[in-house]
């Protein structure tokens, strides 16, 4: 009898592959283990076992596996079922999901090793210089990696040289699988046992009477060892005031011996846990309503005002699930939010809290993964961005999706293009767990599901501590410019309120959803605007670095002193970003401390923490930022929020523009007056009578929801219709157009539903690839999975046409 395993490869492939194993391997391997398998001519990949069987594949000869990498499964069967659902629903390969879900440290690297051919007779004198250097290095060590040869030759193009040596029989290639994850080892010291007695210790101290620093180290060791049996080298250095060299001298003398212990890289203080939060009467009523709703529905929406104390309610709900021995997943849309939330949750749950997101390095993510897998006490509450959804939970009781309306929950590139909120609800269903969605401005789809009874709905209509909602004042920019009451981009009204807030020692947040200094630089003589060489978009001016940058492909160039077309020096910036606001503030308020929070200032691992902690500790007076500021951050001394230009968002060519504008402005406004001081919000706009802006001033979510729902029904948009967007990309404009028209016509003839396009998007060329989009609207009474299978067959036919094979096709389900 033959034995086979079914595996998933970390490649963009929809199908699984069959490999042959021995009977012993078959008995040892479990679903969820990793195996190294050969694929193609010479590559070795880390595959995941998802099935064991005795059926020989009919279309190809099954290869033998290379080696088994795990002793126990690192992925459980619920995870695999969830990945398969994501691959099916979002129309991507299971390999895409596998590659995205596992920390890359688990996907072992395939490193090509080069070694000398055995028994080969080589005349080294006759070798060309490059080949001689490689041969000489292989005399010193048995194998070289590709990057070693690059370093030796100081050349990037080394493959022709290596290939020539292989052809001449001088060297051979061999593939080696290397484990990327390295555990963190911490150096400890202990006294050699023979010095443990009092007599020996006295003799030792006498011998060291002239080595005062070494004596201090030994005395510090004993004072620390009375409290803690194991002492790290770092702790001993701090306690004694000596250097590492002094401790090394004691090790060399045989007085101390060193050893290493494995540590987690991210550790939260266990001693901080405190009593459960004291809820207000309104919060307590809300908490009881949520627990009641969980009795009848697995998913509940908590619709609470900004600053109504939703986090305290979450903590109370989490306590109940932890008491039952369950795991809790707390999803956030933005890594910036985890900074504040971790400190709040650690205060209640101590070291039961783990954090998982992309700013953590490989090793840190592997440790969190292993802690969740082993049901460790250190990972009973996991806080993370959308990728935390893929962790190996097996006792999941609750998923909290905070700020559920945020578009950051939707993965855009690369595949799988999943929505974390929707995928979380499916995952919870597989675990028979509960889902709590929270937002002050829920997405229209979620609120529609709550109104129709699919989800439970709990409303919290008062702010915590009866804090008043902020006053919202509209400033008409047309009128202010006409009356010459503008200083740069600041109206006199906004400047007056900033001055008052600073005089009272209060803090200010200013919102402008565009980074950089200016989105456009225009020649006032000929009208030329510098554009990106690879994209159909103007270059954004970043004054701090004197650069023009493309925010789509990363292309950058120095800002020219004159026009590249007519050589005029009369260049003018149009529009404004956060950098320009910051510079104007420095001139208007020279004594104020001004900070900026956008993608440019938060690139480092702790970029968010530095800015948020600095602002919370009142080291910054005015914080200018983009949409990062709108997401649930809590600053108690902020009394004024200014929205520099509300019109940018309103006129975006997107069916969700008005919904998103309402959400963004309401969320930004919610940062003001979160303690006993009443807040003020100034919204600068050219259109103060716009319906959406009026709804923001009245905090009228119901009005916005009803109006948008009416329009969505008429024009066949979600939540009534499901949508799939097909994006086609190619460098050849004519070939792309021909392919897009062919695909549209086949879809239109085959599917008896609305198909729109092929259309140029707003930016029709990125990275030298032209773009076309086709939109498919699926009615509510139409079979969703059947339609997707039909679309997949049509796409397979499209790829089979020789002239269209080079066109990239991207499928994005529920792209909104």
Cβ neighbours of residue 46 closer than 8 Å, sequence gap 6 or more: 10, 34, 35, 36, 69, 106, 107, 108, 177
Q: What is the DSSP letter of 332?
A: -
Residues ≥6 apart with Cβ < 8 Å to 317: 287, 290, 291, 398, 400, 436
Secondary structure of the chain: what % helix, strand, coil (to 5)? 40, 25, 35
Residue 796 in contact with residue 743, Cβ under 8 Å? no
Element holding 540 (H helix, E strand): strand 540-542
**3-class secondary structure, 52:** strand
- Asked if residue 696 has pLDDT above 60, the reply is yes
- The angle at the Cα of 422, spanning 416 to 426, to the nearest 5 degrees, equals 95
* Span 471-491, average pLDDT: 93
Q: What is the pLDDT of residues 624-680, one digit of tens each?
A: 988 877 766 778 888 999 999 999 888 888 899 999 999 999 988 888 876 677 889
Q: Can you tell me the distance from the alpha carbon of 16 to that of 31, in angstroms, rounded to the nearest whole number?
A: 14
Q: What is the mean pLDDT of residues 233-243?
A: 82
Asked if 651 and 657 touch (Cβ cutoff 8 Å), the reply is yes
Sequence-distant (6+) residues with CB within 8 A of 355 are 266, 338, 342, 368, 382, 383, 384
- Kindly tell me if the per-residue pLDDT of 178 is higher than 70: no
Give percent of the chain with pLDDT exceeding 70.
Answer: 92
Q: What is the mean pLDDT of the chain?
A: 87
CA-to-CA distance for 367 and 364, rounded, in angstroms? 5
Give the whole-angstrom CA distance, residue 777 versus residue 76: 35
What's the CA gap between 688 and 703, in Å, rounded?
Answer: 17
Mean pLDDT of 477-489: 92
Which pLDDT value is given to residue 622?
94
Per the CB < 8 A criterion, the answer to whether 700 and 475 are in contact is no
pLDDT of the residue at 262: 62
Cα distance between residue 780 and residue 749, in whole Å: 20
Q: How far apart, in Å, are the Cα atoms of 504 and each of 497, 614, 706? A: 11, 19, 41
Question: Does the pLDDT value for residue 267 go beyond 60?
Answer: no
Write the pLDDT tens digit of every residue in 76-101. 999 999 999 999 999 999 999 999 99
- For residues 313-340, average pLDDT: 87
Q: For residue 110, is pLDDT > 70?
A: no
Q: Maximum distance among all alpha carbons in the chain?
A: 97
CB 743 within 8 A of CB 810: no
pLDDT digits (tens, 9 = 90+) for 701-719: 999 999 999 999 999 999 9
* CA proximity to 634, closest of 308, 382, 277: 308
Smallest Cα–Cα separation from 449: which of 501, 405, 506, 507? Answer: 405
Residue 326 has pLDDT above 50, yes or no: yes
pLDDT of residue 515: 84
User: Could you read off the pLDDT of 576-616 as tens digits, one per residue?
Assistant: 889 999 999 999 999 999 999 887 777 766 677 788 888 88
Output the pLDDT for position 73.
94
Rounded to an integer, the average pLDDT of 404-413 is 90
Q: Closest Cα to residue 372, out of 348, 358, 356?
A: 356
How far is C-alpha 727 from the chain's CA centre? 23
- Tell me the average pLDDT across 323-329: 94
Mean pLDDT of all residues in 503-520: 90
Give the E-state strand segments of 701-788 in sequence order: 722-730, 755-759, 765-766, 769-778
User: Which tops the pLDDT comparison, 151 or 791?
Assistant: 791
Give the pLDDT score at 272.
46
Cα dihedral 207, 212, 216, 219 in deg (nearest 10):
30
Q: How does pLDDT run across 350-386, given as a tens digit for each residue?
A: 888 888 877 677 778 888 999 999 988 888 999 998 9
Asked if 11 contacts 95 with a C-beta cutoff of 8 angstroms, the reply is yes
Rounded to an integer, what distance in angstroms lies between the CA atom of residue 8 and that of residue 5? 10
Higher local confidence (pLDDT), 131 or 758: 758
Confidence of residue 225 (pLDDT cuts 50, 70, 90): low
* Residue 641: per-residue pLDDT: 92
Residue 435: what pLDDT? 97
- Is the C-alpha dihedral spanning 651, 654, 658, 660 positive or negative? negative
Residue 171: closest CA among 112, 116, 123: 116
Name residues whose C-beta falls within 8 Å of residue 162's C-beta, 6 or more positions apart in sequence.
114, 134, 149, 171
Question: Using one digit for the tens of pLDDT, what is the confidence trace for 732-789?
Answer: 999 999 999 999 999 999 998 999 989 999 899 998 999 999 999 999 999 999 999 9
Highest mean pLDDT, choosing among 36-50, 113-127, 521-535: 521-535
How far is the C-alpha of 46 from the C-alpha of 756, rounded, in Å?
A: 41
Identify the band that residue 271 occupies on the pLDDT scale cut at 50, 70 and 90: very low
According to DSSP, residue 277 is labeled P
What pLDDT, on the 0 to 100 scale, is given for residue 179?
53
State the DSSP code for 602.
-
Strands 722-730 and 808-813, by their bridges, are: antiparallel
Answer for the pair 599, 408: CB distance below 8 angstroms, yes or no.
no
pLDDT at residue 180, rounded to an integer = 52
pLDDT at 721: 95
For the whole model, what pTM was predicted?
0.80
- Each residue of 737-746: pLDDT tens digit? 999 999 999 9
């Amino acid at each position: 009898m033959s034995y086979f395993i079914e595996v998933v490869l970390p490649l963009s492939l929809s199908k699984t592959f069959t490999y042959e194993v021995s009977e012993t391997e078959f008995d040892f391997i479990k679903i969820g283990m990793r195996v190294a398998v050969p694929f193609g001519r010479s590559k070795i990949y880390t595959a995941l076992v998802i099935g064991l069987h005795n059926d020989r594949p009919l279309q190809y000869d099954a290869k033998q596996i290379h080696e088994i990498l795990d002793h126990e499964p690192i992925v459980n069967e619920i995870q695999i079922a969830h990945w398969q659902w994501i691959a099916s629903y979002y129309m991507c390969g299971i390999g895409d999901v596998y590659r995205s879900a596992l920390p890359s440290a688990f996907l072992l690297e395939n490193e090509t090793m080069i070694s000398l051919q055995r028994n080969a007779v080589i005349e080294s004198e006759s070798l060309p210089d490059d080949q001689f250097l490689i041969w000489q290095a292989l005399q010193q060590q048995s194998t070289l990696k590709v990057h070693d040869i690059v370093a030796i030759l100081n050349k990037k193009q080394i493959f022709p040289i290596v290939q020539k040596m292989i052809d001449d029989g001088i060297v051979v290639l061999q593939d080696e699988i290397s484990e990327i994850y390295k555990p963190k080892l911490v150096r400890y010291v202990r006294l050699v046992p023979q010095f443990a007695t009092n007599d020996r210790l006295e003799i030792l101290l006498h011998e060291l009477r002239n080595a005062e620093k070494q004596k201090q180290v030994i005395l510090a060791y004993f004072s620390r060892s009375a409290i803690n049996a194991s002492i790290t080298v770092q702790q001993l250095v701090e306690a004694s005031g000596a250097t590492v060299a002094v401790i090394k001298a004691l090790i060399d003398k045989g007085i101390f011996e060193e050893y290493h212990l494995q540590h987690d890289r991210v550790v939260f203080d266990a001693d901080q846990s405190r009593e459960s939060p004291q809820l207000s009467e309104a919060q307590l009523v809300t908490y009881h309503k949520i627990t009641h709703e969980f009795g009848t529905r697995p998913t509940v929406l908590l619709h609470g005002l900004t600053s109504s104390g939703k986090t305290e309610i979450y903590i109370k709900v989490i306590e109940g699930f932890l008491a039952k021995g369950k795991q809790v997943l707390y999803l956030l849309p933005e890594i910036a939010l985890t900074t504040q939330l971790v400190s709040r949750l650690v205060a209640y749950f101590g070291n039961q809290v783990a954090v998982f997101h992309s700013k953590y390095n490989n090793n840190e993510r592997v440790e969190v993964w292993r802690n969740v897998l082993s049901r460790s006490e250190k990972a009973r509450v996991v806080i993370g961005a959308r990728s935390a959804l893929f962790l190996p939970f097996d006792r999941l009781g609750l998923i909290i999706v905070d700020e559920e309306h945020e578009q950051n929950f939707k993965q855009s590139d690369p595949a799988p293009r999943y929505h974390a909120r929707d995928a979380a609800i499916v995952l919870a269903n597989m675990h028979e767990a509960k889902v709590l969605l929270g937002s002050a401005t829920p997405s229209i789809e979620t609120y529609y599901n709550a109104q129709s009874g699919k989800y439970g709905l709990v409303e919290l209509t008062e702010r915590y501590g009866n804090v008043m909602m902020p006053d919202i004042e509209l400033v008409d920019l047309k009128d202010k410019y006409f009356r010459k009451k503008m200083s740069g981009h600041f109206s006199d009204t906004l400047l007056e309120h900033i001055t008052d807030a600073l005089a009272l020692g209060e803090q200010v947040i200013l919102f402008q959803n565009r980074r950089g200094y200016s989105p456009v630089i225009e020649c006032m003589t000929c009208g030329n605007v510098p554009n990106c060489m690879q994209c159909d978009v103007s270059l954004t001016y970043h004054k701090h670095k004197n650069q023009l940058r493309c925010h789509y492909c990363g292309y950058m160039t120095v800002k020219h002193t004159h026009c590249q077309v007519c050589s005029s020096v009369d260049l003018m910036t149009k529009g404004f970003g956060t950098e320009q606001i910051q510079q104007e503030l420095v001139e208007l308020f020279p004594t104020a401390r001004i900070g900026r929070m956008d993608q440019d200032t938060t690139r480092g691992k702790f970029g968010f923490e530095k800015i948020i902690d600095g602002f919370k500790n009142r080291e910054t007076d005015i914080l200018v930022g983009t949409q990062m500021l709108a997401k649930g951050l809590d600053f108690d001394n902020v009394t004024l929020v200014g929205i520099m230009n509300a019109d940018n968002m309103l006129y975006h060519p997107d069916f969700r523009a008005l919904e998103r504008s309402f959400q963004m402005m309401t969320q930004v406004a919610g940062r003001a007056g979160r303690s006993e001081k009443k807040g003020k919000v100034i919204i600068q706009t050219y259109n103060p009578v716009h319906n959406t802006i009026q709804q923001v001033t009245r905090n009228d979510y119901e009005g916005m929801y009803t109006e948008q729902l009416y329009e969505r029904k008429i024009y066949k948009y979600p939540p009534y219709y499901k949508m799939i967007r097909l994006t086609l990309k190619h460098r050849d404009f004519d070939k792309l157009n021909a392919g897009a028209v062919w695909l549209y016509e086949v879809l239109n003839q085959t599917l008896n539903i609305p198909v729109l396009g092929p259309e140029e998007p707003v930016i029709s060329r990125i990275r030298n690839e032209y773009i076309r989009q086709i939109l498919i609207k699926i009615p509510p009474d139409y079979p969703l999975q059947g339609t997707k299978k039909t679309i997949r067959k049509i796409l397979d036919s499209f790829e089979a046409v020789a002239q269209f094979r080079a066109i990239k096709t991207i499928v994005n389900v529920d792209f909104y």
